[in-house]
Structure 1
């Protein structure tokens, strides 16, 4: 299999196993004969990445999968191997050419009548990811659940990739109906809160702070956002700022025992820091005094 990028996509994000991807494509034989095109149907081809090789019984009509065929009950949304491999490396908006040998396509059986046995195929594919508002909301719920599972498994970076998708899909979405607007806001808030937790886990504290701030823009008295921002400040040794956030949590949510404990811990750290500072300054002044004494002693001996 050979893959040639004809136009670079945008960003750095790549689809992950289980993601639903939308791809426009044109399929040709090596002699240039076109056997299929999603553009002629004016409908992008969609499938879940990583589902594996399409069974021989389910192959028909020359599509990477023909989702409307009646040839077998095995038509379940699986794709030829070349598509699972090729699309996994594509960025949003990327245009590429995928040349696949028979073992990555339809093998010795082919896909009569359009694709002969042992045929090498050429696909020109563009990853779309263009979704309407309803699809974005639906997919956001799906990737939120995926992110939660990754988080439970301790795969924090994979989880953050899922939550970032929600932000990118919904952050600038406008013109939503009132009910959908509420759903979008709730999903964005959850995404930022979960991103903050992921970044706390991997000690990327600046990004944790940024996501807490974003969450607080959506809900200025959010308990989790204030607490997690306090945690980020605490881990950055910004104990005064951390104490302020934890105190806000206590004021707004008096039953939050963890926040009360953190306030006390911050006070302890602040006192310890003051003691260290006093010791540093005391030693510094002592050294200055000793140096000045030596200088004065040297001058006296010269006289």
Structure 2
């Protein structure tokens, strides 16, 4: 069965297949860096029932979600998200999820104030989430934090941590120390690993690989690139966003998929894959006007594409269904229309007038006859 040109197979990442096979057909897929789990409130530490594991005299861990694979070794470059609270007051003072960029932590080269966090991360597997209890000696110490005034002296800390993944290839070489080529190469390697996981329907793990790839090419890095180097970076970065969006659509996390598309469109406003997937996600959320706008724009460039035609048809059918339901609802709210009285037949009206005239005529005749008899 031949692949659809714009929508692509729902079972494959068409943009990767077309890139690697040299296929120039248009195939559509979509942000900011997203979480591997749906967004949570995060104002308070999570309640965790798992056993407490002592990693160090001053560091304990409770697992929130199991990970997979092995643990990072010393000098691994780890990519993680975390929220941090002062344990005594439950005041949250840092949240990398809100900043929408994972943190890079090279084990063994971390800052002193992150020593407890690093011990916890070293015990985790890719994809694992955990709650870390860190004593003040391995946090901000006797003085507290100048950067976070609400962290007082000798404050024990709580960290909710997710280890997105880690990279041992450069033996602790941070992104900032890599050449442009090394960073693009590392990102491309992560992208391909994500594609392999996607093919196995391991969507969460695939997204973690894409997020790590994107982390190699953050805004600060992209801002410095021009010409061929920027083109090389975007050739890896944008497909990661698009592939992540495909995963998010499969997981029915449409808001995040829209965000992925929008990042690609900020670089390339006519990217058909991003427009198609954003339109599809918007349609799923009932944002029909915005969805139609995206899909119609794709159709202008690819008027015969069957996937776009199908999505627009589904959108029209959905709108018709909603209209019918609203029509029935309004009918039920206001009740049936009152019946109008049926007009009397014209012939019957004429007879009534005729008999009334006869009655008046005879009445007049009788009166005249009465006058004469008197």
TM bucket normalised to smaller: 0.5 to 0.7
2:75: which partner in 1? 23
- Partner Cα distance (1:222, 1:167) in 2: 18
Q: Structure 2-normalised TM-score?
A: 0.45
Contact 1:196 1:212 in 2 (8 A): yes
**3-state secondary structure, aligned to 1:170:** coil
- Partner Cα distance (1:241, 1:223) in 2: 15
2:245 maps to 1:229? no
**3-state secondary structure, aligned to 2:56:** strand
User: Matches of residues 252-267 of structure 1 in structure 2 within 5 Å?
Assistant: 252-267=301-316
**3-state secondary structure, aligned to 1:23:** coil
**3-state secondary structure, aligned to 2:55:** strand
2:186: which partner in 1? 139
What is the CA distance between 1:190 and its match in structure 2? 0.7
- Partner Cα distance (2:268, 2:329) in 1: 42
* Cα distance change on mapping 1:20 and 1:143 into 2, 3 Å: farther
Give the root-mean-square deviation of aligned CA atoms.
4.1
1:56: which partner in 2? none
Name the larger-Rg structure. 2
What is the CA distance between 1:265 and its match in structure 2? 1.8
Q: Structure 1-normalised TM-score?
A: 0.55
- Partner Cα distance (1:203, 1:170) in 2: 27
Among residues 48, 56, 64, which one is paired with 1:4 in the alignment? Answer: 56
Cα offsets for 1:72-98 (capped at 9, x unmatched): xxxxxxxxxxxx97474799xx99xxx
2:251 maps to 1:199? no
Q: Which runs of 5+ in 2 are unaligned?
A: 1-52, 77-105, 109-120, 135-170, 339-374
1:152: which partner in 2? 199
User: Matches of residues 1-303 of structure 1 in structure 2 within 5 Å?
Assistant: 3-4=55-56, 17=69, 23=75, 86=123, 88=125, 130-131=174-175, 132=178, 133-172=180-219, 173=221, 174-176=223-225, 178-286=227-335
Contact 2:194 2:209 in 1 (8 A): yes
What is the CA distance between 1:242 and its match in structure 2? 2.0
- Partner Cα distance (2:73, 2:315) in 1: 47
Q: Which runs of 5+ in 1 are unaligned?
A: 25-43, 47-83, 96-126, 291-303
**3-state secondary structure, aligned to 2:303:** coil
**3-state secondary structure, aligned to 2:270:** coil
Number of matched pairs: 201
* Cα distance change on mapping 1:203 and 1:178 into 2, 3 Å: same
